[in-house]
Amino acid sequence: MSLQVYTRKRNFAHTPEPSGKAKKKSAALTFVVQRHDASRLHYDFRLQVNGVLKSWAVPKGPSMNPNDKRLAVMVEDHPLAYGNFEGEIPEGNYGAGTVEIWDHGTYQPEEEASDLDKTMMQELKNGSLKFILYGERLKGSFALVKMKNGDGKNWLLIKHRDEYATDEYDIEQESKVKRKSRSSKDKSTSSDISVPRSVRSSKEKVTDYIKPTMAYTREEPFNDEDWIFEIKWDGYRAVAEVGKKNIRFYSRNGLSFERLYPAIAEELKKIKDDVVLDGEVVVLDKNDRPSFQKLQHYSENRSLPLVYYVFDCLRYKGKDITDLPLLERKKIAAQVLPPGNVLKYSDHVAADGKAFFEHAVKLGLEGIIAKRAESTYAVGRRTYDWLKIKNHNTQEAVIAGYTEPRGSRSYFGALVLAMYQKGKLKYIGHTGTGFTEKILKDVFKTLQPDVRKTSPFDTKVPINAPVTWVDPKHVCAIKYTEVTDDGILRHPVFMGLRIDKKAKEVDHLDVEVASDKNTKTKVKKTVARKPAAKKVARRKASGKPEADSGIVKVQGHELKFTHLDKIYWPDEGITKGEVIEYYNSIHKYILPYLKDRPQSLKRNPNGIADKGFFHKDAGDAAPEWVDSIELYSESADKEIDYILCNNKATLLYLNNLGCIEINPWNSRVKSLDNPDYLIMDIDPSEKSTFDEVIDAARVIKDILTKAGAASFCKTSGASGLHVYVPLGAKYDYEQARSFAEIVATLTMEQLPDTTTMERSLNKRKNKIYLDYLQNKRGQTLASVYSLRPVPGATISTPLDWKEVKRGLSPAQFTMKTLPKRLDKKGDLFKGVLKKGIDMAKCLKKLEG
């Protein structure tokens, strides 16, 4: 289902609305009603049908009174992600105003149906939908009936007479209840417990609380028969004291969790023994993975599973058992827990930490905890008997202030981050990523009572925007890529506020390595990191010292190039400066294939010897003149600020970040759901020859020629070939992928011995993989004319089809040979961006 009209009406660089995309069918259908206070107040009624939200603007809003026949004007389809959208659409944008979720839930057709989407689509076509809503405010049977006037856009929304109907209904009076139905989710099943709105609104403290054992950090997993390994849960550490008459349930710093998480408190009351338990409060996302951000905003995520994972026991039947070996304590913890889904035992594996860590990484978990099997419990202390091994680099940071917002962003631009070092505040970076509109608003409100006039730092902080300082008392969780020599977090991403830690506790970075005589391995000790001495300059192949950093003006913008003599290709002696020189020399050729396309930055700041990392969310940290766009990422479950490489200055800025390779989307911001081309990625195995890759490309070319489709070939820059087919943004990704799959199938039929469409590496049997799945929103490949971080400094180079014959080698095309080739042949790839194929005609020709 196309979202072209929705996308065309919005500039996602200036509105917080999700760009989204159509999705496949699902087992349950959802609906949402949003109160939209725009130029005129109205309500938007949306039903999930066939992967999108079918939408109607209802001026007077839906009613539970059967006598009210509400006008509902059908508008453009919206992406499913819009069902979670709340916030302010800025002035100047389509639909400017405030959007609130008024009601939401699931629904089903009134008549039983095996295929829900198919039934609803047929009813839409017939102009009469009958359905049952399972909402918080709207319940029971409804109908949408198309009117004869209004060019098919005017419908009537009618409530059927059933047990939920009422003859007295005032929607605005209902709205004034301040989302009473939504906040009712926050109420406990026990009527005498009232629930705080969020973690930050609960300030109850307990006295004489038990401080749990804390772990040091280790960099690498290890195997050791004397150790066990548990999942590192991404939540709030919590201690539960269960007595015969009452319970106490609190955070590591004594903040009461009883009213905040009443479901857990009620389950703890079912424990019959007098015990003290240690564990972690976790919210599981839709993929059953722990989500700290969902936990942070649990009042809005109460439909998600809340779990208290218990991994230790400190007291049993009133007796202190902290001196017992860990495995004995864990055995007791497992025995005392009642059956159910709220209290769960956190199990472990013995000895094999490496495999366990690899499994945790595959599942996208936070990491693992290694514990010495015979260790006792160290109350209130950090111990080398417990080691945390992280999949992601995470760190707590103190918030010292915030910068002014820019562009369309509201509330603030970035948080100023700090930690305590010898009692004084030390700057460790700033973050402007990881925020939704609602999180921006919540954090802003939290900080307002603590605004101050002066900086809390003793020294000047390198901030490039006006700052509002705050008292350094709030702690947040940060994810980052690495720590610089000066102790600054690189590319920090905000994960949420922490209520379970005091600011003074944030006095170290998990970076220093120390040895532990009691273990067979090295552990990563948690200490305050001191600034390292300035590195000795690397030497260029010529023997000259590293060039000084310098500021250069490019297209009127200031660029600071750094470490230009850093060796990127050790064998070839190619430096970072030469990479920048290459892109500067061919910028007019590559930029047409980058303009207005979100960039997934692949960074290799240490050259090709470093496997590098992807840095998608880079726009907020870029200079103001660098264009960017915020788009919702389903895989990351957040808005990501993608850079748009729209000019030479931005291209060279990316090169200076260590982007040897440039990876654009297949679609542009004006039509994000419609790619400009489809791609056939011919990906060889280690045992495939390049001649076999060429054979596959030639067969693909013949199939496309038969279909009447233009095609263009380029080297991948590594060991494969890419064949592009221009689409002219006329088709969506699903259509492009389906066409590519047909071409791949026909190719495999002709080359069954050397090609496969099997995605799994283990099942490919050393054949060439015909990857048609590259045709997906957000999927990227190295751009034409992009360098690749591989030996030889090869380049993804367009080819004349006459050149695509056995004997060709991708090693022919390097950063040293390509400029001369461009002077001779020009841009062989420009047809990719021209008029697209007629897919219907092509398919007919292939059928013939």
Kindly report the CATH number that applies to the domain delimited by 677-847: 3.90.920.10
Per residue in 776-789, pLDDT tens? 988 899 999 999 99
Q: Are 633 and 616 in contact (CB under 8 A)?
A: yes
Least Cα distance to 391 among 415, 367, 358, 411 occurs for: 367
Q: Which residue has the higher pLDDT, 333 or 515?
A: 333
The beta strands (E) that lie in 87-153 are given as 87-89, 97-109, 128-135, 139-146
Please, what is the average pLDDT of the chain?
84
Nearest to 616 by CA among 596, 598, 637, 601: 601
Residue-wise burial string across 102-132, b where 16 or more C-beta atoms lie within 10 A, e elsewhere: bbbbebbbbeeeeebbebbeebbeeeebebb
pLDDT value of residue 192: 31
Q: Quote the CA–CA distance of 660 and 611 in Å, as a whole number.
A: 12
Does the pLDDT at position 819 exceed 80? yes
CB 182 within 8 A of CB 101: yes
The share of the chain scoring above pLDDT 70, in percent, equals: 88
| Architecture of the 209-390 domain | 2-Layer Sandwich (3.30)
Task: Write phi, then psi, for 242 (nearest 5 degrees).
Answer: -115, 115
289-348 pLDDT, tens digit each: 888 878 877 766 777 889 999 999 999 998 999 999 999 999 999 999 998 889 999 999
Q: For residue 643, name the pLDDT band (cuts at 50, 70, 90).
A: very high
Strand boundaries in 442-519, DSSP class E: 451-452, 467-470, 475-480, 482-483, 489-490, 493-498, 509-515
Topology at the third CATH level for domain 393-527: OB fold (Dihydrolipoamide Acetyltransferase, E2P) (2.40.50)
Does pLDDT of 448 surpass 90? yes
Closest C-alpha among 393, 366, 398, 394 to residue 476:
398
Place of tokens 């709205």: 175
Tokens at residue 179, please? 């989302």
Q: Rounded to 5 degrees, what angle do the CA atoms 309, 311, 312 make? A: 135
Q: 172-186, 235-249, 397-411, 542-556 — which is least confidently predicted?
A: 172-186
From 232, 426, 479, 576, active-site residue: 232
pLDDT tens-digit profile of 87-135?
Answer: 889 888 899 999 999 998 888 888 777 778 888 999 999 999 999 998 8
Note the pLDDT of residue 848. Answer: 66
Answer yes or no: are the C-beta atoms of 480 and 489 closer than 8 Å: yes
CATH 3.30.470.30 positions along the chain are 209-390
Say which residue, 190 or 830, is predicted with more confidence: 830
Q: Is 524 a catalytic residue?
A: no
Structural contact between residues 29 and 108, judged by C-beta atoms closer than 8 angstroms: yes
pLDDT for the residue numbered 201: 41
Instruction: Return the H-helix or E-strand segment holding 335.
Output: helix 326-336
| pTM listed for this prediction | 0.42
190-206 burial by CB neighbour count: b if 16+ within 10 A, else e?
A: eeeeebeebbeebeeeb
Which value, to the nearest 10 degrees, does the dihedral of the CA atoms of residues 221, 224, 227, 232 take? Answer: 10
Q: Which tokens belong to 95?
A: 């639909």
Instruction: Give the gyration radius of the chain's Cα atoms.
Output: 30
Per-residue model confidence (pLDDT) at position 558: 85
Mean pLDDT, to the nearest integer, of 640-665?
93
534 with 754: CB under 8 angstroms? no
Read off the pLDDT of residues 199-211 as tens digits, 9 standing for 90 and up: 444 456 788 899 9
Q: Please, which pLDDT band fits residue 1 given cuts at 50, 70 and 90?
A: very low
* Of the candidate ranges 184-193, 250-259, 492-501, 775-784, the one whose mean pLDDT is the lowest: 184-193
Lowest mean pLDDT among 149-153, 538-542, 551-555: 538-542
Q: How far apart are the first and last CA of the chain?
A: 28
Q: What contacts 338, CB < 8 A, 6 or more positions away?
A: 267, 270, 271
C-alpha distances in Å from residue 33, one per residue of 70, 101, 175, 237: 14, 6, 12, 37
Is the pLDDT at 177 greater than 70? The verdict is no
Rounded to the nearest 10 degrees, what angle do helices 648-656 and 576-590 cross at? 150
pLDDT greater at residue 617 or residue 46: 46
> In which residue ranges of the chain is CATH 3.90.920.10 found?
550-664, 677-847
E-state strands within 138-235: 139-146, 154-159, 214-218, 223-231
Region 52-58: mean pLDDT is 94
pLDDT digits (tens, 9 = 90+) for 232-263: 998 999 999 999 888 999 998 888 898 888 88
Q: How far is CA 134 from CA 56, 108, 194, in A?
A: 18, 9, 25
- Could you tell me where the DSSP H helices lie in 165-281? 171-175, 180-183, 262-268
Q: Which amino acid does the sequence have at 540?
A: K
- Specify the pLDDT at position 299: 66
Domain 550-664 class, CATH top level: alpha beta
Residue 635: the pLDDT is: 61
Residue 525 pLDDT > 60, yes or no?
no
Domain(s) labelled CATH 2.40.50.140 in the chain stretch across 393-527
